[in-house]
C-alpha cells in the first residue's frame, strides 16, 4: 500500500522509468513463455526447448539490470528524517524498493501472459497480421495445451528475480571500521549499501575506477582464447550459432563460456575505459572545455562505467550476430532472424541504452552542486553544454572501435575456416 501511495505522487520521470521496467518485464516474460510453448508442442525435442530457455537468460539479465538501476535512482529509496521517524530505516527502504520493483514487473508479466494466450488463440482471435494466418499459434505451441504450473512459474520469475536483486543491491552494508561518526539526535542513519547521488560519493571512487581495467582485459583475452580453442578442428555452422534452437555442435560449453567471459571482461573494464577516456581528454595543456569534460569523466567513471561497458558488450554482440548471420545466409538479408529473436534484440538494446541514460541522469544530479559553483564563478551555460557534448562524443569515439574490434575477434574463429 505504501508503494502505491508513493507511486501516485511520484515525478513523471520516475513513473516513466517504472513504465519502462514494466515493458522490459513484459518482453522477458513473453520470451520465457514462448520457450514453454515450444517445449509443450515439441515433447520429443527437450534439447531445443532447453536451449531456447537458456537464451532467455540474456533478456532476463538485461531486465534485472534495468530494474536495479531504476530502483537505485528512485527518490523513495533515499533515507530521510521523515522515513526514519516512521520506522523506515535503510533496510526497510531497500525492501520497499524491492516490492515496488516486483509490482511493476508483475504488471508487465501479467500483460505478457495475456498477450501470449491471445496469440495462441486461447482467449479469442488474434489481431496481429503475423498471427492472422495461424503462424503465431503454431510458433507458440497453440496446438497443445499449456502447462498451468509451468506458465505461472515462468511468469513469476521476472518479478521475483528483479525484486530480490533490487532489494539486495540497496541493502545496507556494514561500514568500514573506524568510519562511523556520532550523529545528531533525530538524524537519519547513513546508508552504506550503494551510495547514490543524494546520499554519498560515487562508487567506486575515481582513483579506483581504472583498477579493474587489467582484470577486464584479462577476462576478455581468456574468453576470446576459449572461443578459438573451442572451434579448433571443428567449425560449427555460423547459422547455428545465432539460432536459438541449440544446435551448436559439440562445442556448446566452450563457446558459451567464451562469450560469457568476453561480456564479463567488457563490463569489468567499463569504468577503466571511461576513466581513461577522461584522462585522454585532459592530457597536455587542455583548455577549459577539455579540462572540464575530462575531469568530469574521470569523476563519473565509477557511476557510468559499468552501464557503458554493458552497452559496449551488447553492441559487440549485435555486430557479431550480424556477421554470423551474413556468413550463413549471405548479405541479401532475405532470411530474417525471426520475430522472437528480433524481440529479444530490441529488448536487450532498450534495457542497455535506458540504463546508460539513467546513469547519465544520476551523474548529472551528482554534480549539481559543482555545476552551481561553476556558474557562480562565471562559467557560461554554453561551456557546460559543450563539455557534455564533448564527453558524449569522446565516449562514442573510444567505445565504438572497442565494440567493433571485440565483435570482429569474437566471430573470426567461426567465419574463417
Q: What is the dihedral of CA 33, 34, 35, 40, to 10 degrees?
A: 90
Q: Name the stretches of the chain with pLDDT < 70.
A: 1-11, 76-89, 122-143, 174-209, 233-252, 328-337, 416-417
Q: Residue 260: how many CA atoms within 13 Å on its side-chain side? A: 11
Which pLDDT score, from 0 to 100, does residue 249 have? Answer: 45
Residue with cell 516474460: 29
pLDDT of residue 66: 93
DSSP-assigned letter for residue 210: G
What is the DSSP secondary-structure string of 48-80?
HHHHHHHHTHHHHHHHHHHHHHHHHH-GGGS--
Residue partners of 262: CB distance under 8 A and separation at least 6: 219, 220, 223, 224, 227, 313, 316, 406, 410
3 state SS of 146: coil
Cα Rg of the chain, angstroms: 24
Give the largest Cα separation in the chain, rounded.
73
pLDDT tens-place string over residues 280-322: 888 888 888 888 888 888 888 888 889 999 999 999 989 888 8
Q: What is the pLDDT of residue 410?
A: 86
Calpha distance 143→347 (Å, rounded): 27
Integer Cα distance of 275 and 295 in angstroms: 9
Give the position of cell 541514460. Answer: 357
Asked if 344 and 38 count as a contact pair (C-beta separation under 8 A), the reply is no
> Which residue has cell 551474413?
326
Which of 313, 320, 201 shows the shortest CA–CA distance to 268? 313
Amino acid at each position: 500500500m505504501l508503494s502505491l501511495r508513493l507511486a501516485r505522487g511520484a515525478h513523471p520521470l520516475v513513473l516513466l522509468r517504472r513504465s519502462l521496467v514494466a515493458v522490459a518485464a513484459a518482453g522477458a516474460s513473453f520470451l520465457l513463455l514462448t520457450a514453454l510453448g515450444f517445449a509443450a508442442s515439441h515433447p520429443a525435442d527437450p534439447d531445443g526447448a532447453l536451449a531456447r530457455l537458456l537464451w532467455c537468460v540474456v533478456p532476463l539479465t538485461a531486465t534485472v539490470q534495468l530494474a536495479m538501476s531504476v530502483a537505485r535512482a528512485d527518490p523513495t529509496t533515499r533515507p530521510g528524517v521523515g522515513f526514519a521517524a516512521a520506522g523506515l530505516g535503510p533496510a526497510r527502504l531497500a525492501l520497499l524498493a524491492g516490492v515496488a520493483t516486483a509490482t511493476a514487473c508483475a504488471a508487465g508479466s501479467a500483460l505478457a501472459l495475456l498477450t501470449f494466450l491471445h496469440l495462441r488463440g486461447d482467449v479469442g482471435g488474434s489481431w496481429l497480421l503475423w498471427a492472422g494466418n495461424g503462424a503465431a499459434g503454431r510458433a507458440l505451441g497453440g496446438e497443445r495445451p499449456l502447462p498451468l504450473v509451468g506458465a505461472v512459474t515462468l511468469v513469476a520469475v521476472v518479478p521475483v528475480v528483479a525484486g530480490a536483486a533490487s532489494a539486495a543491491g540497496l541493502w545496507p552494508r556494514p561500514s568500514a571500521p573506524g568510519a562511523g561518526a556520532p550523529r545528531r539526535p533525530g538524524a537519519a542513519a547513513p546508508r552504506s549499501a550503494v551510495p547514490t547521488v543524494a546520499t554519498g560519493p560515487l562508487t567506486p571512487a575515481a582513483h579506483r575506477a581504472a583498477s579493474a581495467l587489467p582484470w577486464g582485459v584479462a577476462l576478455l583475452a581468456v574468453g576470446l582464447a576459449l572461443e578459438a580453442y573451442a572451434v579448433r578442428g571443428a567449425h560449427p555452422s555460423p547459422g547455428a550459432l545465432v539460432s536459438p534452437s541449440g544446435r551448436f555442435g559439440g562445442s556448446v560449453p566452450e563457446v558459451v563460456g567464451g562469450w560469457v567471459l568476453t561480456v564479463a571482461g567488457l563490463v569489468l573494464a567499463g569504468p577503466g575505459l571511461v576513466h581513461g577516456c577522461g584522462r585522454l581528454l585532459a592530457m597536455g595543456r587542455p583548455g577549459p572545455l577539455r579540462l572540464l569534460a575530462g575531469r568530469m569523466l574521470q569523476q563519473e567513471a565509477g557511476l557510468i562505467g559499468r552501464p557503458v561497458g554493458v552497452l559496449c558488450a551488447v553492441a559487440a554482440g549485435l555486430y557479431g550476430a550480424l556477421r554470423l548471420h551474413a556468413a550463413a545466409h549471405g548479405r541479401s538479408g532475405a532470411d530474417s532472424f525471426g520475430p522472437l529473436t528480433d524481440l529479444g534484440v530490441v529488448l536487450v538494446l532498450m534495457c542497455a541504452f535506458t540504463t546508460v541514460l539513467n546513469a547519465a541522469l544520476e551523474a548529472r544530479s551528482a554534480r549539481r552542486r559543482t555545476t552551481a559553483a561553476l556558474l557562480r564563478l562565471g562559467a557560461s551555460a554554453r561551456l557546460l553544454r559543450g563539455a557534455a557534448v564533448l564527453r558524449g562524443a569522446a565516449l562514442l569515439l573510444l567505445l565504438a572501435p572497442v565494440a567493433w574490434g571485440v565483435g570482429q575477434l569474437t566471430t573470426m574463429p567461426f567465419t574463417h575456416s
